[in-house]
Amino acid sequence: MVLSPPPTLSAACRSDHTDTYHGEVIADPYRWLEDAGHPDTRAFVEAQNARTRRVLDALPQRTALLERLGELWNFPRRGAVWQEGKAFFQLRNSGLQNQFVLYTMDAPDAEGRALLDPNTLSEDGTVSLSGLAVNRDATRLAYAVSQGGSDWQEWRVRDVASGEDLPDVLPDSKFSGVSWLPDGSGFFYARYDHPEDGHRLSGANRHQRLWLHRLGTPQDADELIVERPDEPEWGFGTAVTEDGRWLVVNVWKGTARQNLIWIRPLEDRGAFREVVGEFRSGFQLVGSAGPLFYFLTDNHAPLGCLMSYDLETGEWQEVVPEGHSRLLGVRMVAGGFVLHTLEDASSRLTLVDRRGGNPRPVPLPGLGTVEALHGHADRHEVFLTFTGFLTPATGFRLDAASGSLTALWTPALAVNLGGYEVRQEFATSRDGTRVPMFIVARRDLVLDGSHPTLLYGYGGFDISLTPAFDVSRVAWLEAGGVLAVANLRGGGEYGERWHRAGRGAGKQNVFDDFAACARFLAGRGYTSPRHLGIEGGSNGGLLVGATLTQSPDLIGAAVAHVGVLDMLRFQHFTIGWAWASDYGRSEDPQDFAVLRAYSPLHNLTRRAYPPTLLTTGDHDDRVVPAHSYKFAAELQHVQQGEAPVLLRVQTQAGHGAGKPTRLIMEEKADVYAFLLSALR
């Protein structure tokens, strides 16, 4: 390790606060750091940031890394095309713009014109787009803006032809999209009560309501469509079917992939038909044809299947049965469906007819990920992007009639990646489970255990880590690093059984899988423990924290971003209660025993830990920054030896979504410089 010891920092004040959980007294000496607005907390953050900057700014690689990241990042990028009416839309970035710009075109490969540039909404680029919805005839755009990375959204409306905003402004929305009425006169959206002063970034989010907003009317005139005061944790999403006949309400409860489905005629105000009336499985609306509604579901099919429901007869029918691979997504097109499956964590596409028959595989460019599928039930044309670890996102048009896949545009990356390759290896976890892992490295890599290696993981909430291009990782590879991305239990790579094996009482499996991957990398000669760094964010930050406390001897450095690190109190802030579907709650005695056993904050002991960098945002209203504040203070308190424990708090930033390019590059430069110095 070549990191210098950090400057001396006055120890954070430790209080004598304790809580009693099921007879066990738990100390919480840094409870005061949960009050983000308190002067003492602000002083703590300022002191930590000043110390962290003195360490990171002195690293010899940082300046060169930041300069190189600016060079690598500066290439045009585009998202997937989508169509409404006769118009096409796409998000684009010319290279170093802080936020992507929305374009509208008259053809999918046309140059078009800028319709909405969020870079003009703030001087520092911290106002971002968090939602977009174009109405059926492409005359109106509903868009949501968020400030400083917050999950809170404000919906606005823009005239597509003129590019001018209408008077409609709808604040206090969160975790909501928009569904337009067929005639474009209004839309459905969800919102919460206006948060109390001082609780916008930490208050619990409950009692979401579903509203219909009519254009040109004030928000307080919105029509209430659904509320359930008896079920404060229920949330509501909507879809208006393409034929304009039906309103479909998706009722969610937390982050579990279980939901209710309610349907009624669009213009009715009577009772909904409860098509799915209990939280037992996940049901995702694919589309409809007359009285038939199609759903992607894992009900009695852990890997997923496609089912139809007849609104007239109430009968369910299997259209595409469960296969041997995870069915991740389905797009309804003219005459059939496009099936998106995962095989060992990489994408496959297959075309089938409306009965689920006549399967036709769609050849993809290689090992990678289909990131989006946009199309309509009455058209053969489907738009998508494809990416891989060494392949920037590329736009394609799929003709569902012929099965042909045509590139619309290819990004011009100013670096040759031909000297690198992607390998897929499989580690064996403690209980014998086979755990896949992608490894990206030079083709001529000598397996002598000397290479700085970054192991990244997540392992939760049915989220799959599939091959995707991150331009910052090119800088890591160029510096001689190896990248490993682990597909841990708790994710969605192999369906609901894989997810369930890493949640609740099975959460320890996730940490065991990650440790197995670390041992595999060292055992095969890619690296050695002192050259191995680990990284993860959010639930992946929990993964890093648990690995740090359980297996510190396996690693040489740790980086945890916006981590969930206090497993006894996460449910008390913002949307944290929703994570109980994966974690459980400390109020339950059995859950408490599991949480107490691995909670990173509560398993730190006096010993020498490897160099650790914790990052968070002062506006993070999903995983509140107190998790990182408390963990950093406790880790600094118990740390033995000279390895630094650094806390990096980004101002005007949240959980990560919408973070401007400038701030991303600065953070990446800090992280890679820290790791390269720690792992040499």
Residues that are catalytic = 538, 655
List the structure tokens of 313.
Answer: 């007869």
Cβ-based neighbour number of residue 198 at 10 Å: 11
Kindly provide the residue ranges of all beta strands, DSSP E only, lying in 400-525, ordered along the sequence: 405-409, 420-428, 434-442, 453-456, 482-486
Task: Give me the residue label for tokens 């209203």.
Answer: 621
Task: Give the angle subtended at the CA of 243 by the CAs of 106 and 182, to the nearest 5°.
Answer: 65
Q: What are phi and psi of 41, to 5 degrees?
A: -65, -45
Query: Strand, coil or helix: what is 20?
Result: strand
Cα separations in angstroms, 358 against 144, 320, 338, 461, 480: 41, 11, 12, 33, 47
Q: Which helix H or strand E contains 240, and what residues bound it?
A: strand 234-240
Tell me which DSSP letter residue 668 carries.
H
The span from the CA of 156 to the CA of 132, in Å, is 10
Looking at residue 195, what DSSP letter applies? P
Q: Residue 414: exposed, middle, or buried by beta-carbon count in 10 A (0-12, 13-18, 19+)?
A: exposed
Element containing residue 607 per DSSP (H, E): none
* Cα–Cα separations (whole angstroms), residue 668 to 59, 61, 416, 472, 475: 13, 12, 21, 7, 9
Task: Kindly give, in sequence order, each residue whose CB lies less than 8 Å from that of residue 9, ignoring residues fewer than 6 positions away.
Answer: 47, 48, 51, 636
Q: Give Cα 674 to chain centroid, integer Å.
A: 24
Instruction: Identify whether the C-beta of residue 350 lies closer than 8 Å to the C-beta of residue 339.
Output: yes
CA distance 27 to 602: 9
Strand partners, 385: 372, 395
Using DSSP's 3-state secondary structure scheme, residue 129 falls into strand
Q: Phi/psi of residue 337, each to 5°? A: -140, 150
- Angle separating helix axes 539-550 and 507-523, nearest 10 degrees: 70
Tell me how crowded residue 402 is: count the other CB atoms within 10 A of its CB: 10
User: CA-to-CA distance for 510 and 501, rounded, in angstroms?
Assistant: 8
Which one-letter amino acid corresponds to residue 590? Q
Per DSSP, 263 falls in state E
- Please tell me the total number of residues recorded for the chain in this structure: 680
Cα separation, 461 vs 254, whole angstroms: 11
Q: For residue 320, what are its two tokens?
A: 């595409």
* Residue closest to 596 by CA, chosen among 411, 588, 450, 244: 588
